[in-house]
Amino acid sequence: MSEKIPPELSLDALKSGNRDEFTRLVDAYSGPMYRMAMKMLGDGQDAEDVLQNTFLNAFKHIRSFEERSSLSTWLYRIAANEALMMIRKRRPETTMTDTSVEGDEGGEYSPLQFVDWCCLPEDELLSVEARRHLDRAIQRLPEKLRIVFILRDLEDLSIEETRQVLDLSQTAVKTRLLRARLNLREQLSSYYSERIGDRIEKK
């Protein structure tokens, strides 16, 4: 994502309210924004609301877009804020997992599972059931870790872009990313070591 504005889009046309151009913007970016919202919220209806609000807001505020970041980073920023607001709306009381994220960010996080499940065949690692488990594991991450993991590892943003989207320091992005990855590794280790157990039993 080196270019700030993709060559097929004209920022001047977008800023002047050109509907053809805005339609091109929607078609270019609705896919990644919808996927991000789906992974963040795990619910089609909520993801759709986030998608609509993202482009309604983009439409409304495109004139204030200043090219300090790329257009896609700017859209991710709107979408991420919408998704986080949706989560807060859905669950107004603050949960324990969420308040703890801030406090223990720099703290230790020691791995607990040491089963090597890398040897499982690819079709088992990516079976329909395993894919569902991969999605569920993301949903179990505290939202502040979840959003960092989704942007960096699923949407393939750089650390710097993730930092811009979330208004965080590089260090905070790196710490949250590491914690998210280690948390998912633990969850996947529990799941796949059971699969290894199943295979041994069958033999």
C-beta of 4 vs 174, nearer to another protein? 174
Tell the smallest beta-carbon distance from residue 103 to another protein (Å).
18
Residue 8 binds another protein (CB under 8 A): no
Cβ atoms of 151 and 33 closer than 8 Å: no
Residue from 97, 100, 104, 126 binding another protein (CB under 8 A): 126
Of 2-10, 54-62, 69-77, 78-86: span binding another protein (CB under 8 A):
54-62
Tell the smallest beta-carbon distance from residue 167 to another protein (Å).
20
Residue 32 binds another protein (CB under 8 A): yes
Residue 52 binds another protein (CB under 8 A): yes
Residue 116 binds another protein (CB under 8 A): yes
Residue 63 binds another protein (CB under 8 A): no
| Identity at 52, one-letter amino acid code | Q
Please, which of residues 136-195 interact with another protein by CB under 8 A? 153-155, 174, 177-178, 181-182, 184-185, 188-189
Cβ atoms of 50 and 86 closer than 8 Å: yes
Residue 110 binds another protein (CB under 8 A): yes
Contacts to another protein by CB under 8 A: 19, 22-23, 26, 30-32, 34-35, 39, 44, 48, 51-52, 55-56, 59, 108-111, 114-118, 125-126, 131, 134-135, 153-155, 174, 177-178, 181-182, 184-185, 188-189
